[in-house]
Structure 1
Amino acid sequence: MSAIQAAAQAPSDEKHRAMITMSVMLATVLQTLDSTIANVALPHMQGSLSASQDSITWVLTSYIVAAAIATPLTGTLCARFGRKRVFLWSVAGFTIASALCGMAQSLSEIVVARLFQGICGAALVPLSQATMLDINPPHKHGSAMAVFGMGVMVGPILGPSLGGWLTDSYNWRWVFYINLPIGLIALLGIAAYLREPPPVKVEKFDSLGFVTLGLAIGLLQLLLDRGEQQDWLSSPEIWMEMLGAIICFAYFVVHTWTTHAHSFFNRALLRDRNFNTGVIYIFVVGIILYATRALLPPMLQSLFGYPAILTGLVTAPSGAGTMLAMLFVGRLVGRVDVRLLLGFGFAATAFSLYQMAGYTTTLSPSDIVWPGVIQGFGLGFVFVPLTTITFSTLASHLRADGAAIYSLSRNIGSSIGISVVQTLLTQNTQINHASLAQHVSPYASLGDGAADMFTRAYGASGLAALNAEITRQAAMIAYLDDFKLMMIMTIVVMPLLLLIRVKKRHAAEPEEIMHIAAD
């Protein structure tokens, strides 16, 4: 990260600024689009790849985890090979990985391709941001970051509706194939117009810290993804993954605490209360944001029969709510106590989750749209103020390290959140089905003799239809339990706002904070 930020300040040829801007913004959209475009296609992938409901989410978590682990490598790779070369490799690798995702014939194939895609895509957003700063003079950095911010938001907003249309009109493979022309244009533009900035010197990269933390995160994610299928601690595989994660993390902690050289995690970060509180909050935000987006599309398509394109249309407005909020909150930061902005954002998010926890099996599209808009609006009031307050009291020389950990925490929260809610969904559906089935069977009927009536009138097919409805009701209850859990989590972390110290910033600081927020 430090290499990127240092290079962003280096002088650069500003010719072809428009073409470079278009090329790097296409690379940004390429990466951010894939954070949401695959969500609405998950049910279709599940059937095509013969995957279970909980294992199909590996398509999401593998990408997020790979990107999270690989992002801190960006600065070191740029210092060693040059920013332009790393940029070209990243775009080319991401495009090739997208083609491999589209051609996958099994769950294992697409998960491996998504891992490759996440590794290659990890550098795209930070490199795009650095390039935008590099090709614009300092007095235009604010405008450049506004353009960059719009590019970051376009992907998540466009993803659900575009993914739904591609899935309905063609098939789920096109949510990955769509990256090929975008990636090719970005690749040609970067190769033709982007110049290599002057080399910068970076501190030695902490390979041991990076490897041990990466292994710990990867093993933890594997444990969460495989636990339900392997019956958790009754499986030797789960025990090995759990012990491996603990040992690797212990090595990372001991190495970080005892090394005197520059380590992957700078211990000085622990002395800043605002930073530590902000890392906890962004972890929770990652859980809420991505878990909700992972839950809604399968629920709408499997329980309510929504086509993929309608699913995309009713879930996309949440991104529009976030963009709308960010237009307002940018003017309020510095004028209103940041803790009040954060409190409002989390309260709005909790209210939206309360509405989702009250869903019934007779939902209308507006019942999906408005809670999504409110949630997006609430999260929009969290992103910028949270980043601002997290880094407001952090020394400037620690901000590069802090930005890497901040981004890592958000991504890990996202991947863990998706795995946990999907595991709970599978478990609670089974538990609820067993509970409901106790009261509905050929031998013990409800008050109106429902099971007996179905059996006499329709035979085995009637009982199967009744069982399908019980499964649907059990799954609906399980979805509501997940929304309720996220609502409770949002409310529980709100008292941490009392730990935040508000520091009066100098006039030059907001723009610097803005750069970190975009990263």
Structure 2
Amino acid sequence: MILASVVLGSTLYATTLLVASTLLPQMQGSMAATPDEIAWTTTFNILATAIVTPTSGFLAARFGRRRVMLFSVIGSTAATWLCGQAESLEALVLWRILQGGIGAPVVPLANAIVLDSFPRRQAGLVSSIFGMTVVLGPVIGPVFGGMLAETYNWRWAFYMIVPAGAVAAFCLHLTLPPDRPGTRLPLDWTGFLALSVCIACVQLVFSRGQRLDWFESPEIIIETGIAALAFYVFLAHSLTTERPFLNLRLLLDRNYALGLILVFIHGMVNFTPIVLLPTLLQGYAGYPDSIIGQIVGYRGIGGVIGFGSTLLIGRLDPRIGMSIGFGLLVLSGLWLMRLDLNVDVDTLLLNAVLQGVAVGVIWVPLTVLTFRTLDARHTAEAMALFHLLRNIGSSLFISLSVTTIVRSTTMNYSRMTELISPYNRALSVPELMGGWSTETLQGLARLSKEIDRQAAMIGYVNAFGLYMAASAAAILFVLLARGPRRAAA
């Protein structure tokens, strides 16, 4: 019952993370906002989540896991309802900040509760069940949210979460064991504020860099400088104070340190296809929203298959399971790099299933290996940093991929249009030109649009190449981890 309750609560919170991504066009029209303004609804939600996530360990020690979980689930559910009720852009951004900040402790605390409620021999099984929230949550939001928004309006995508949130809070109230007396630990305000400022500036750089042309903008330069200074203060303070906000000495555990690197890469490659493929298929390949939602949904089916397979793979060395999972991601990346704008639905569905299987296979051995040799007293604090790096990895890689697409599209469009010239003899051969024409303005406009489509496709292929390279790099780090026997010793 504890497992079912925390899985429900964390799945609902994971659903809210990407639900707004499919609603941005409708919300922009409803709020009469510019694309840059409506993007704040996503930016500030991620920002609030990233800032509050590291406090999960302190909050659990100070107030108890049960109280924090109940407050977070109830608070984020209420904020979700208020998002649907918002009548102005300012109100919507405010409620999205509260939604992300109040709900941020849910996933790391839920993960810690699951690991501590079952014996270590069952860690693989319960981690596979809990890990479905990592895959299914971000899938449920865009799929069902997009369907409700298309049938009714964008507000119903938020309303659909509220009844399930109430059920989750009720189940948590019934099943979670009472808290032990809280520990009166003082909050390390210096470390907390320094880390918060660093994370806030980094997230702003990632979110606004492409719009502002990165370091051509004074804002990006200032935010980068502040982030570097804040990180230095956090690092110097944490290494010299007796009770730091985050205990960096945990990084002396080899498996935990490698696990943080691997979960950072896992975050990079997990959400990126969900964000990139819908824009490619809708904007350039002409796919309707219903088919795009189906493709995202098949990724969830693959995730269930992947988590189910961990019941067998979990008996092996965790390094083998992670190598298989990241190897499947490499294959899916190579497959995506071979796509063109005439891709058929079956190919996309099979690739989505492969991605889901890979992500499902990775999560359980990654969790088991990361926390295998760590003292159980540090689980909540270590789990908060674990999920923080997963979120930062997602934000970083999505921004990097979008930048790659935009710059590659611009560069390739410029190179290819150089060939549209009266001096190019190929343009005068009817068999080669087909239905294209350079004799009229309409013909040139059609040709320009097609060149833009092909240039964009090259940009997406380059982004998928980064996705494949990151997955391949993860395999190298997997091989550095300690095996079960050495860890036990």
Cα drift, residue 207 of structure 1: 2.4
1:348 matched to 2:321: no
Structure 1: tracts of 5 or more residues without a match: 1-16, 510-519
What aligned pairs does 1:58-137 form with structure 2 within 5 A after superposition? 59-81=41-63, 85-102=67-84, 110-128=92-110
1:247 matched to 2:229: yes
Alpha-carbon distance change, 376 to 192 in structure 1, aligned in 2, over 3 angstroms: closer
Counterpart in the other structure of 2:281: 300
Counterpart in the other structure of 1:433: 413
Alpha-carbon distance change, 391 to 182 in structure 1, aligned in 2, over 3 angstroms: closer
Question: Which segment drifts farther, 353-362 or 181-190?
Answer: 181-190
Cα drift, residue 423 of structure 1: 2.0
Alpha-carbon distance change, 233 to 44 in structure 1, aligned in 2, over 3 angstroms: same
Q: CA RMSD in A?
A: 3.6
Alpha-carbon distance change, 55 to 429 in structure 1, aligned in 2, over 3 angstroms: farther
2:444 corresponds to which of 463, 468, 471? 463
What aligned pairs does 1:315-464 form with structure 2 within 5 A after superposition? 315-333=296-314, 335-440=315-420, 447-448=427-428, 454=437, 456-457=439-440, 459=441, 461-464=442-445
- Matched residues, number: 484
SS in 2 for 1:361: coil
Looking at structure 1, the residues matched to 209 and 19 of structure 2 have their Cα atoms a distance apart, in angstroms, of 26
Looking at structure 1, the residues matched to 173 and 282 of structure 2 have their Cα atoms a distance apart, in angstroms, of 42
Residue identity (%): 37
Cα drift, residue 375 of structure 1: 1.7
SS in 1 for 2:198: helix
Looking at structure 2, the residues matched to 367 and 258 of structure 1 have their Cα atoms a distance apart, in angstroms, of 54
Cα drift, residue 292 of structure 1: 1.6
Looking at structure 1, the residues matched to 29 and 407 of structure 2 have their Cα atoms a distance apart, in angstroms, of 20
2:144 corresponds to which of 150, 156, 162? 162
Looking at structure 2, the residues matched to 217 and 271 of structure 1 have their Cα atoms a distance apart, in angstroms, of 23
1:177 matched to 2:170: no
SS in 2 for 1:504: helix
Looking at structure 1, the residues matched to 161 and 270 of structure 2 have their Cα atoms a distance apart, in angstroms, of 23
Alpha-carbon distance change, 133 to 270 in structure 1, aligned in 2, over 3 angstroms: closer
Counterpart in the other structure of 2:10: 28
Amino acid in the other structure paired with 2:323: G
CA contact (8 A) 1:64 1:414 kept: no
Looking at structure 2, the residues matched to 193 and 452 of structure 1 have their Cα atoms a distance apart, in angstroms, of 67
Question: Which segment drifts farther, 147-156 or 299-308?
Answer: 147-156
Counterpart in the other structure of 1:14: none
Alpha-carbon distance change, 96 to 114 in structure 1, aligned in 2, over 3 angstroms: same
1:208 corresponds to which of 183, 190, 215? 190
1:495 corresponds to which of 452, 476, 481? 476
Alpha-carbon distance change, 105 to 230 in structure 1, aligned in 2, over 3 angstroms: farther
CA contact (8 A) 1:65 1:411 kept: no
Amino acid in the other structure paired with 1:472: R
Cα drift, residue 156 of structure 1: 3.5
Counterpart in the other structure of 1:266: 247
Looking at structure 2, the residues matched to 112 and 185 of structure 1 have their Cα atoms a distance apart, in angstroms, of 25
Cα drift, residue 234 of structure 1: 2.6
2:465 corresponds to which of 475, 481, 484? 484
Cα drift, residue 324 of structure 1: 1.4
Counterpart in the other structure of 2:179: 197
Alpha-carbon distance change, 105 to 462 in structure 1, aligned in 2, over 3 angstroms: farther
Alpha-carbon distance change, 46 to 443 in structure 1, aligned in 2, over 3 angstroms: farther
Counterpart in the other structure of 2:293: 312
SS in 2 for 1:32: helix
Cα drift, residue 191 of structure 1: 6.5
Deviation string 1:434-467 (CA, Å, 9 cap, x unpaired) is 222222368868524769964545x3x4433332
Cα drift, residue 356 of structure 1: 0.7
Cα drift, residue 410 of structure 1: 1.0
SS in 2 for 1:313: helix
Alpha-carbon distance change, 439 to 151 in structure 1, aligned in 2, over 3 angstroms: closer
TM-score by length of 2: 0.86
CA contact (8 A) 2:3 2:130 kept: no
Alpha-carbon distance change, 430 to 50 in structure 1, aligned in 2, over 3 angstroms: farther
Question: Which segment drifts farther, 421-430 or 342-351?
Answer: 421-430
Amino acid in the other structure paired with 2:54: P
